[in-house]
Amino acid sequence: MNIILMGPPGAGKGTQAELIIADFPVPHISTGDMFREAVTNGTELGEEAKKYMDEGRLVPDEVTVGIIKERLAQDDCKKGFLLDGFPRTLVQAKALDEVMAELSKEIEVAINIAVPDEILIERLSSRVSCENCKAVYNLKLNAPEKEGICNKCGGKLVQRSDDQEETVRNRLNVYKEETNPLISYYHKKGNLKEIDGYQDTKNVYSDIKRVLGNL
């Protein structure tokens, strides 16, 4: 099963990806997580990506396409994969089509999670995530049991540096200009599924599960 999870910043892609991989055994591939890991490890890729991420801009296509090509060639992707946050530009979508053709595979579904802007800003300003296991919480909607501590592993909860309000606004603008056109790209291909992301997490997931169960 080869799945793309799309949606604006804060739509719930990471939250839903965790639920999906518990039911469907495919690797969760998030370009944002890959870049953040590179930043934490202080690699050359991390240094390059950080400049863009801190401003809410997209990392250049050639860098992003390069890391995705390498990742999709790994053995665990043979059984399928769940892409979260890639593709994000038309150039990336076309590059993905080429990679899929080379691997004789197809994208089966592109799921777009839609949420109104004002809700996205509210969600991101109250998001915290675990430094250790990356579990995501929301201080207003899904707070951890102990303040600042991850329920799952006891790790420290931190705010993402790109969740400052001004950066969030930039990310939303970039999304509208560069990523929104992908909705019609996948619609024309016939594999777009729209999901209402402005409902309880469990209800969003049951809508997604229905789509995946029908593939």
d(CA 6, CA 96): 14
User: Which residues neighbour 170 within 8 Å (Cβ) at sequence distance 6 or greater?
Assistant: 55, 56, 57
The DSSP 8-state label assigned to residue 163 in this structure reads G
Decide: helix, strand or coil at residue 166.
Answer: helix
Q: Contact between 186 and ligand AP5 (CB under 6 A)?
A: no
Q: Are 129 and 32 in contact (CB under 8 A)?
A: no
Q: Least distance (Å) from Mg ion to the CB of residue 32? A: 5
Q: Catalytic: 171?
A: yes
Residues 17-56, one symbol each (x = binds ligand AP5 by CB under 6 A, - = not), give -------------xxx--x----------------xx--x
Site for ligand AP5 in 93-122 (CB under 6 A): none
Q: Are 207 and 195 in contact (CB under 8 A)?
A: yes
Q: Could you give the count of Cα atoms lying within 13 Å of 100 in the half-sphere of its Cβ?
A: 18
Q: Which position among 94, 160, 169, 209 bears the catalytic label?
A: 160
Q: Could you give the count of Cα atoms lying within 13 Å of 138 in the half-sphere of its Cβ?
A: 17
- Residue from 157, 171, 186, 193 that binds ligand AP5 (CB under 6 A)? 171
Q: Contact between 64 and ligand AP5 (CB under 6 A)?
A: yes
| H-assigned helices in 73-199 | 90-102, 117-125, 165-174, 181-189
Answer with the entry of ligand AP5, Mg ion, none that 171 interacts with (C-beta below 5 to 8 A by kind).
ligand AP5
Residues 119-158, one symbol each (x = binds ligand AP5 by CB under 6 A, - = not), give ----xx--x--------xxx--xx----------------
Residues that bind Mg ion (CB under 5 A): 13-14
The site for ligand AP5 (CB under 6 A) is made up of: 7, 9-15, 30-32, 35, 52-53, 56-59, 64, 85-86, 88, 92, 123-124, 127, 136-138, 141-142, 162, 171, 197, 200-201, 204
Residues designated catalytic: 13, 88, 127, 160, 171
